[in-house]
Structure 1
């Protein structure tokens, strides 16, 4: 009788572990995720995850890297597709908030201190995660830089202001503080107006 091949063998095991890890992250949060539970969810031996992730921190970094990879891929379409810069910025902002609201546990992992401040930056998974996170930010800078008359220095400050606003909005909405989710679109448009304001005097005061 022919046997059915398991989806958790050979070259696709690491990705299968990441897929299962993301499911567990959604269900139980960062504190509830463990390599032992991961092995059980993927129906592999308890030692199998350790062939791909040295510890829980490595697994979390790999999950965050996968999240940033997805975010960067979407951002790159707005950078490269010739969409008018202001429209591209708005779409990128709305996508950012949608990502945070649809995947709150992954968002918390990607933008939390656990991996940015408290992890070993020399670890390959952590290094890749942080590189991808910075790549995402650079794409926001590039979107500002594509606006007519933009300067490199001003584009950087605009992107910093916008990302800080988006992160604050996402946290407020996720925590149920002050911001209603149905108002996010209007707030984002106002934040973009502020971030896109060209103020040459701001350059001279820094």
Structure 2
């Protein structure tokens, strides 16, 4: 499209797509409204028709990322054949999302940039993604696979596990570890995630949420 051929809705999507490309190729620091406009092939003032400032643009992009993650997590859970295997599927999906969508992932968990406290849609989208995991853990409780008092710490543990693996993979750390042991990052991730059913069966992990000090 040329800068004169964008209609109202297409311009917003083009700007978001340009912002995502910049993050993936040059990092979040490269993003400015002027630079995004140039990347999209529009005038430097065009972004202000949709975004008040850089934070608003990043918030909208983070919202888009969280919604995409929620859709993928929901699909992954729906294809599992039991509540426990659903947790495995969700962990695999979370790490895969980070690997396939690094631009979104690097932004979504940078609240100082997207400022979700000022953008309720972003906060709601993030909570919806987390809610898929929380609901899956609740299903394990309902099925008798997990004690009720372990639901909250188990949810946080699984979130931390998935996020940690995803971050390590994106930062190249799993590739380094894999090379030391003659394996791959994918194999390392699979070996960790495959242990989730055993974690539930043995009852390991904190029985209650401990106070932070």
Which band: TM-score by shorter chain? 0.7 to 0.9
Structure 2 residue aligned with 1:43: 41
Structure 2 residue aligned with 1:112: 110
Shift of residue 200 of structure 1?
10
Shift of residue 12 of structure 1?
2.0
Cα RMSD, aligned residues only:
2.8
Distance change (3 Å), C-alpha of 1:204 and 1:46: closer
Q: Is the 8 A contact 1:85 1:146 kept in 2?
A: yes
CA offsets per residue over residues 118-137 of structure 1, 9 Å max, x none? x361x3xx321121111111
Distance change (3 Å), C-alpha of 1:187 and 1:95: same
- Structure 2 residue 120 is matched with structure 1 residue 127: yes
Residue among 121, 136, 147 paired with 1:143? 136
> Which segments of structure 1 move beyond 3 Å, counting only runs of 4 or more?
4-7, 78-83, 150-153, 195-201, 203-206
Shift of residue 162 of structure 1?
0.4
Residue among 157, 161, 184 paired with 1:161? 157
TM-score of the two chains, using structure 2 as the length reference? 0.80
Distance change (3 Å), C-alpha of 1:204 and 1:25: closer
Please state whether the residue corresponding to 1:202 is helix, strand or coil: coil
- Structure 2 residue 191 is matched with structure 1 residue 193: no
TM-score of the two chains, using structure 1 as the length reference? 0.82
Aligned residues: 198
Please state whether the residue corresponding to 2:133 is helix, strand or coil: helix
Distance change (3 Å), C-alpha of 1:68 and 1:194: same
For 2:12 and 2:198, how far apart are their aligned partners in 1? 43
Q: Which runs of 5+ in 1 are unaligned?
A: none
Shift of residue 47 of structure 1?
0.9
Shift of residue 153 of structure 1?
4.6
Please state whether the residue corresponding to 2:195 is helix, strand or coil: helix
Distance change (3 Å), C-alpha of 1:201 and 1:17: closer
